[in-house]
Amino acid sequence: MTSRRKFLAGSAIGAASTLAAPAAIAQQGPIKWRLQTYSGAPLGAHVIKPQIEAFNEAANGEMEIELYYADQLVPTGELFRALQNGTLDAVQSDEATMASPVDISVFGGYFPFATRYSLDVPALFKYYGLAEIWQEAYDEVDNVTWLSTGAWDPLHIFTKEPIRSLADMKGKRVFGVPTAGRFLSRYGLIPVTVPWDDVEVALQTGELDGVAWCGFTEAYEVGWADICNYALTNSVTGAWFGSYFANTESWNKVPPHLQELFKITIDQSHYYRAVWYWGGEAKLRVEGEKMELTSIPPEEWATVVKDAEGFWDEIAAQGERPKKVVDAFKKYAAVMEKAGYPYR
């Protein structure tokens, strides 16, 4: 009987402790995160807002992510530093735009002619070693965790005056992402950096002559197609490399089931964007009426493609890891060419 009483007493204490635990968790409240994206609000409504809303609902009160758009909490060029010091808990951006101090940052965003289709990006990460390379690079960085990379839209140039030859690029001031701007500057384009929300006004005032930042879907969605009169059909690359990052200390405080939920909704976001862009690009090129389509002749554009080969080699010479990425691009391109339709 004495043993039985001790057992029952112990069971009661254990049960009381178990019952008290949810109350203790409730007192602590949900985990709160602040996430800032590279994109302004009109674009963010598609590239990230649906994901954050889905995560917050599915987290069922255990965690809540506050979403901030371009430059709302910190300037876009300071996103990495703000993430590392904990001002932000998470970031959606490409490496080049957020000034990530890794030796592969040049590949974030638009790397000239690295891709032709949006599916090229996840294929490169899953089957050609880019996921391992990205993981290795960020393992060397304090307090920043790389989570995932996906595809955005192709890169086209939209301007107020037409581009029908490489000579027409000379002197045109365009808002664009760093790596593509660096490459295109050899043809006379002048990359100009302004806050994302100021692009429309800069186009209207003449501070900018155009944008080299996105594809047709974004140009129409955010209003730039209302100001730019011409769209160059020659695409510099087929898809933007965009990533999700977390502050490592913040990430480690999130329980495993919510970490998994966040990664699942990232994949959901990748899927949403792939469909939105893929359908939008084709539809707007054919049915869009706001911009006149222009093209640089194939024989002249072929010199740009050839120049990109030299650009790849320049980047590969910067170090062992950049060379691994370029080698992966070359191997992938060769496989796709040999595979033929519908891959190339």
Q: Region 18-30: what's the mean pLDDT?
A: 52
Confidence category of residue 2, pLDDT binned at 50, 70, 90: very low
Asked if the model's pLDDT at residue 3 lies above 50, the reply is no
163-200 pLDDT, tens digit each? 999 999 999 999 988 999 999 999 999 999 999 999 99
Residue 70 has pLDDT above 50, yes or no: yes
Tell me the pLDDT band of 240, cut-offs 50, 70 and 90.
very high
In the predicted structure, residue 19 carries a pLDDT above the cut 80: no
pLDDT band at 13 (very low <50, low <70, confident <90, very high): very low
* pLDDT greater than 70 at residue 286: yes
One fold for 30-151+240-280 and 155-239+288-339:
yes
13 Cα distance to chain centroid = 51
**Confidence class of residue 20 from pLDDT cuts 50, 70 and 90?**
very low
| Right CATH for 155-239+288-339 from 3.40.50.300, 3.40.190.170, 3.30.70.2740, 3.30.465.10 | 3.40.190.170
pLDDT at 17: 40
CA distance 150 to 269: 9
- Report pLDDT for 177: 83
Q: What is the pTM of this model?
A: 0.89
Q: What are phi and psi of 312, to 5 degrees?
A: -55, -45
pLDDT recorded at residue 28: 78
Share of the chain above pLDDT 90, in %: 91
Q: What pLDDT score does 198 carry?
A: 95
Q: Are 179 and 110 in contact (CB under 8 A)?
A: yes
Per-residue pLDDT of 255-281, as tens digits, reads: 999 999 999 999 999 999 999 999 999
Residue 245 dihedral angles phi and psi, to the nearest 5°: -135, 155
Domain ranges of the chain: 30-151+240-280, 155-239+288-339
**Residue given tokens 């968790």 in the structure block:** 25
CATH superfamily of 30-151+240-280: Bacterial extracellular solute-binding protein, family 7 (3.40.190.170)
pLDDT per position as a tens digit, 74-94: 999 999 999 999 999 999 999
d(CA 240, CA 68): 21
